[in-house]
Amino acid sequence: MPPRPLARITIKDLARDLGMSVATVARAFHSGGTIAEGTRQAVLKRAAELGYQPNALARGMITRHTRIVGVVLSDLENPFYPQVLTRLTEALQQVGLNVMLVVAEPSGSVDSAMRLLLSYQPEYAVILATTLTTGAAAACRAAGTPLLFFNRAPAEEEACAVVCDNAAGAAAVADHLVACGARRLAFLGGRPDTSTHAERRAGFLERCAAHGLPAPLEAPAGAFTYAAGYAAAQRLLAAPERPEALFCANDILAIGAMQAARREFGLRIPRDLAIAGFDDVAMASWPEHDLTTLRQPIPAMVELAVRWVCRSAAGEAPPQGTLRLPGTLVVRGTTRPGTPSLPAPALEDQA
């Protein structure tokens, strides 16, 4: 028979072992607790010997300072979001905050995920890759939990959000494709109900019009996935008027479109078709993709998000409005063969 697991040591067990009250032992684990230093050290030493760990979650529930930042996410398959989540988690842990991740159904309501998150009394909630319903937003206000939207621009003017300047980034992609000699352009979009899709589409179409070009062809994919990009590109490239350049609303769509162009139509990238994406996920730079893309300023966005969270935790009123940070065009082989990538810009302090 396997050995039975040892019972978890509780604060009552530790107090009984030391012959002290539970209150005295509890104060030893608080840096501001009123307790003699010798007593504190004795408690900590015996706790280490017995393997006792304070229950931070229970303590947070009592003090109403859980040090939890909840993150609501619905698209873990898109490599952009795990990349953001890793950086955000590391940055929050460095300032003594912990991340609790709840996943909403990609095509469903976020309300149930938000109810689960609020049951743990987070001090802040960060919304990634999902849209909040009116009911979920009201529940956060009722709980006194401030909201921060990351890579999503909310409709409410009083909401707080940090995003890449999607429209300006898409316009920069249009300028680059035109500079490469393309005149028949196309846009391959993702989910039409997302701000990222809408802003990138608007920025691209407006800049094409400013160049005096005909309206770009459009291939709605309906999702930000490889399969959706592949299928949408098949439909687009089968049309009689094939585009010379294709801008995809994210890198995964672009990689799917690139594979469709090569496998289904035998097209040479970029000689027969130039392709550009948006985000600059890690695989965009892989040699088999070598994808031209618009790099989102993730380090600066994360730094700003953590700063806002810390201000709120310190009792300051949360900021309002949407701050848009500029991205950087990264030129690779799918639009101009043999051109090295542009260097990443130095981070600037954002208020």
Assign 3-class secondary structure to 294-314.
EECCHHHHHHHHHHHHHHHHC
All residue ranges of the chain with pLDDT < 50 are 1, 4-5, 61-62, 338-351
Q: Kindly tell me the sign of the dihedral angle through the C-alpha atoms of 28, 34, 35, 41.
A: positive
Quick one: which H or E segment has residue 126? strand 124-128
Quick one: which H or E segment has residue 17? helix 11-18
- Using CA atoms, how far apart are residues 112 and 82, in angstroms rounded to an integer? 22
Enter the DSSP assignment of 339: P
pLDDT for residue 344: 38
338 Rama class: left (phi>0) / alpha (psi -120 to 50) / beta: left
Residue 291: which of 318, 234, 326, 331 has the closest Cα? Answer: 331
pLDDT for residue 350: 36
pLDDT for residue 36: 87
pLDDT for residue 319: 73
- Using CA atoms, how far apart are residues 132 and 149, in angstroms rounded to an integer? 9
Q: pLDDT tens for residues 199-255?
A: 999 999 999 999 999 999 999 999 999 999 999 999 999 998 899 999 999 999 999
171: Cβ contacts below 8 Å, ≥ 6 apart:
203, 204, 206, 207
- Using CA atoms, how far apart are residues 294 and 296, in angstroms rounded to an integer? 6
CA-to-CA dists, residue 4 to 7, 11, 13, 49, 52, angstroms = 9, 22, 19, 20, 18
- Using CA atoms, how far apart are residues 277 and 299, in angstroms rounded to an integer? 19
Phi, psi angle pair for 40, to nearest 5°: -60, -45
Phi, psi angle pair for 335, to nearest 5°: -125, -25
* Mean pLDDT (the chain, rounded): 85
Identify whether 270 is preceded by a cis peptide bond (ω within 30 of 0): yes
Cα 243 to the chain's mean position, in Å?
A: 32
Number of Cα atoms under 13 Å in the Cβ half of residue 184: 11
Cβ-contact 110, 54 below 8 angstroms: no
pLDDT for residue 129: 72
Beta partners for 69?
99, 124
SS3 59: helix
Q: pLDDT tens for residues 174-200?
A: 999 999 999 999 999 998 988 999 999
Phi, psi angle pair for 161, to nearest 5°: -150, 145
Residue 118: which of 80, 144, 93, 95 has the closest Cα? Answer: 144
Identify whether 220 is preceded by a cis peptide bond (ω within 30 of 0): no
- Using CA atoms, how far apart are residues 144 and 138, in angstroms rounded to an integer? 10
Could you tell me the end-to-end alpha-carbon distance of the chain, in angstroms, rounded to an integer? 61
Cβ-contact 216, 243 below 8 angstroms: yes
pTM for this one?
0.80
- Using CA atoms, how far apart are residues 148 and 150, in angstroms rounded to an integer? 6
Q: pLDDT tens for residues 118-130?
A: 888 888 889 887 7
Domains located in the chain, CATH noted: 11-54 (1.10.260.40), 65-165+298-324 (3.40.50.2300), 166-297 (3.40.50.2300)
